[in-house]
């Protein structure tokens, strides 16, 4: 199952709103590790955000070619 679909299904059960702000192109990374990190961060945010809350996730290229990832929630 796609990460976004999996997490949106989890958020909809509460119900919560998920916002995605992703602006990464051509990142060389371990897909499995990145996927697991995102699932852990976002599922924890969803778990601790009350019904009707919002979880916003962002990912962007960092200076030096790395990646900045963040999760902001109302929980």
**pLDDT tens, residue by residue, 4-35:** 788 888 888 888 888 888 776 666 778 788 88
Which of 4-8, 18-22, 53-57, 66-70 holds the top average pLDDT?
53-57
Q: What is the pTM of this model?
A: 0.74
Contacts 24+ apart (CB under 8 A), 10-17: 10/43, 10/46, 11/46, 11/55, 14/46, 14/49, 14/50, 14/51, 14/53, 15/51, 15/52, 16/46, 16/49, 16/51, 16/52, 16/53, 16/54, 16/55, 17/53, 17/54, 17/55
């Amino acid at each position: 199952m796609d990460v976004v679909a999996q997490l949106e299904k989890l958020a909809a059960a509460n119900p919560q709103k998920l916002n995605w702000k992703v602006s990464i192109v051509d990142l060389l990374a371990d897909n499995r590790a990145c996927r697991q990190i995102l699932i852990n961060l976002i599922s924890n945010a969803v778990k601790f955000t009350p019904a009707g809350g919002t979880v916003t996730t962002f990912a962007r290229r960092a200076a030096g070619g790395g990646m900045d990832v963040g999760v902001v929630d109302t929980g």
